[in-house]
Amino acid sequence: MARWRKSSYSGGGGSGGQECVEVADLIDAVGVRDSRASEAGHLALSPAAFAELLASLKRDESSP
């Protein structure tokens, strides 16, 4: 069974602080889901794709 944890990228901005992304280490993948709609399923990203997603988020954070 996957152990889901709140992502450090979950924010307090917009939507009254209700944005919450959870991640889980899956076999050969990283799971990503919306904690408010966990019953809707999740995305399974390769470790490389997940690393690129994080790098992209970090670039966006540092952009003016």
47 pLDDT higher than 80: yes
pLDDT of residue 13: 56
CA distances from 25 to 2, 18, 34, 44 (A): 7, 23, 15, 10
16 pLDDT higher than 90: no
pLDDT of residue 11: 64
24 pLDDT higher than 80: yes
Which structural domain, as residue segments, surrounds residue 48?
Answer: 5-62
Name the domain count of the chain. 1
DSSP SS3 for 60: helix
DSSP SS3 for 31: strand
